[in-house]
Amino acid sequence: MELIDGNTIAASLIAELKAEVSSLPGRKPCLALVRVGDDPASVSYVRKKEKTADEIGLVGRIILRPVGTTQQELEQLIDELNADEGVDGILVQSPLPKPLDELAIFRRVSPEKDVDGFHTLNLGKVAQEDDSGFVSCTPAGIMELLARSGVDLKGKHVVVLGRSLIVGKPVALLALQKKTGANGTVTICHSSTRDIGNLTRQADVLIAAIGKPEFVTGDMVKPGAVVIDVGINRVPDATKKTGYRLTGDVHFPSASERADKITPVPGGVGPMTVAMLMKNTVKAYRLRHRTGH
């Protein structure tokens, strides 16, 4: 069994981006990171993104707004960032506090600056196999992990657990594309799927993004499969100082006994998501300034 180490793969991607950014003329690419409120997970995610941007040589501009921010105020802020020539990419940290309409905010971001890849236009470009758009960071990170681990999806049965707009749907579309590394045969499973284990056992590549801790057990994995665990769940654990431990959507001890390759949690898909956000920001800068590779 081989562990797919997301930290190592993300580090090599970050090193490549750092070299690319250092060779860019003029100002450096700028990523605006918008955070509303003080959700502890959001605080740490934004800090990590800012730190990675800094490491690469990007400008990470953090914009904080209080919990009581209205939809109108947030939309006005997005409009200002859309119009700001010094900003290449905009990320609005999810989840937004209630009662803000997250989808409306994602759609408000200009498609050319939507480095999170959630805009309707960018999702549509994935479906049309148009490379000029932005692929959302977690699905893009999964494809990068597979490619850099020598996993070609051509002709393979890819089973995706979960149908979210953030992971399930876009990763299924990417695996289907007529492109090198893709060309997979894709099945999407969700909460209404009957006999889910019967389908997961057919998977050459199993992508678990269902949001249920340790849902996928070893008996649901085909021997020799590649398992990508997208989940990140906090489960109570009295032995830990924090009182909890982080676990994925896959029961790692039993699944790793049958899988040929598997991602850990943490240290698998997570670091790739941040690295792909940086890659999208550099791409946004290049598209806006028309600087070729």
- Does one domain contain both 181 and 246? yes
- Across 35-58, average pLDDT: 94
Residue 178 annotated as catalytic: no
What's the mean pLDDT in 40-48? 91
Q: 2 lies in a domain? A: no
93 has catalytic annotation: yes
Confidence class for position 266, pLDDT limits 50, 70, 90: very high
What average pLDDT does the segment 158-181 reach?
96
Confidence of residue 218 (pLDDT cuts 50, 70, 90): very high
Tell me whether residue 292 is in a domain: no
Mean pLDDT, residues 115-138 taken together: 96
- Name the band, by pLDDT with cuts 50, 70 and 90, for residue 41: confident
Q: Answer yes or no: is pLDDT of 291 > 90.
A: no
Domain membership of residue 246 as a residue range = 137-269
| pLDDT over threshold 60, residue 201 | yes
89 with 155, same domain: the answer is no
Catalytic residue among 49, 156, 261, 279: 49
Upstream peptide bond of 97 is cis (omega within 30 degrees of 0):
no
- Count up the domains in the chain and report the number: 2
Active-site choice (93, 113, 204, 261): 93
Percent of the chain with pLDDT over 90: 92
Kindly report the CATH number assigned to the domain that includes residue 63. Answer: 3.40.50.10860
pLDDT, tens digit, 9 for 90 and up, residues 182-196:
999 999 999 999 999
Catalytic one among 88, 114, 116, 204? 116
Q: What residues pair up with 221 in beta bridges, in sequence order?
A: none
Q: Examine residue 226 and state whether it is found in any structural domain, yes or no.
A: yes
Is 72 noted as a catalytic residue in this protein? no
For the cut 70, the answer to whether the pLDDT of residue 293 exceeds it is: no
State the pLDDT confidence band at 292, using cuts at 50, 70 and 90. Answer: low
Tell me, what CATH number does 228's domain have? 3.40.50.720
Average pLDDT, the chain: 96
Q: What is the mean pLDDT of residues 37-57?
A: 93
